[in-house]
Amino acid sequence: MPLADIKLESVERYQAARKAETTNRKAADGAPRETSGATVNRDLALLRTMLNKAVDWECLDASPINWRRVKKFNENGRERYLTANERKRLFAALDDSGPILSNFIVLALNTGLRRGEIMGLRWANVNMDDGLICLERAQRKNNKVLRVPLNENALVVLRRLPRVSEYVLCDPGTGERILSFRKAFASACKKAGIKDLRIHDLRHTFGTMLNARGVALPTISSLLGHSSITMTSKYITPITEDQKRAVDCLVDAPGPGRKKDENPAGGYPDEGRKSLYIQ
């Protein structure tokens, strides 16, 4: 279409058609997945950038779209992460998968790096003396340098890896770079009885575990290499100590099978406040 002919109606028709498309990924029941609203929103962000660039290059006098009238799809962040029990089961299931997948998962859970960033990680990016990984702009999705400190879990993995290639994770026999873990990861999850888990959810687990241990959101954001805290909030399922303490205060409330005189805290408040407690 000529640039000047792209109107709001064209955008809305595109949104509807794009959302109705299916992806190569399958849902948990094996059915094809619809294109996510977030994906369609990214398409429109690209279109907006293209039209703005056309204005900069004087191909258009002004953008033909009033973007304030474009209704975007809601983007509900995926809240899937590994629980402590699932982590134990997953590592137990990795015994038959070989060390490469196990090393990948340990690095993912302890650095928060993306799949591609770990698989493309070179020894040149690893400073063992300072305990630091440094990724250059060209290695990152958002084209920004990222420095991630290495904890002891990650260092143990890196110390035992043979340096037979420029890549950290490689086939120890040939030195060739590992290109995919998808099948091995899916098999390990199936063996562990873990459903609906993607490799990218390991990154969510990293952020959620840090949050649960009281790490400040700006610090988590910097470790994940996000440009904004808004993006980081989508990677975290908040389960804080404050939340746990909040629900723990209900332990002394009357409940099934407990009489009022069995309160371990030494009795309930006056009768006039009974309505504050769970009956």
Q: Percentage of the chain surpassing pLDDT 90?
A: 43
The sign of the CA dihedral 144, 149, 151, 152 is positive
Which residue(s) pair with 26 in the sheet? 32
Burial of 263 (0-12, 13-18, 19+ CB in 10 A): middle
- Rounded to 10 deg, the angle between the 99-111 and 84-93 helix axes is 160
Domain 84-233 has CATH 1.10.443.10: yes
Tell me the three state secondary structure of residue 24. strand
pLDDT at 151: 94
Other CB atoms within 10 A of residue 93 CB:
18
Q: Please enumerate in sequence order all residues whose Cβ is within 8 A of that of 6, keeping only pairs 6 or more positions apart, or say none.
A: 47, 51, 64, 65
Which residue(s) pair with 22 in the sheet? 34
pLDDT exceeds cutoff 90 at 6: yes
| Separation of alpha carbons 208 and 190, rounded Å | 23
Domain boundaries, the chain: 3-69, 84-233, 249-279
pLDDT band at residue 212, thresholds of 50, 70 and 90? confident
Q: Please enumerate in sequence order all residues whose Cβ is within 8 A of that of 233, keeping only pairs 6 or more positions apart, or say none.
A: 77, 217
Strands 146-149 and 32-34: unpaired
Tens digits of residue pLDDT in 171-187: 888 888 888 888 889 99
Average pLDDT of the chain to the nearest whole number:
82
pLDDT at 256: 55
Length of the chain counted residue by residue: 279
Tens digits of residue pLDDT in 228-270: 887 787 777 766 556 666 677 766 655 555 555 554 444 434 4
- Does this model's pTM top 0.95? My answer is no
Which residue(s) pair with 135 in the sheet? 146
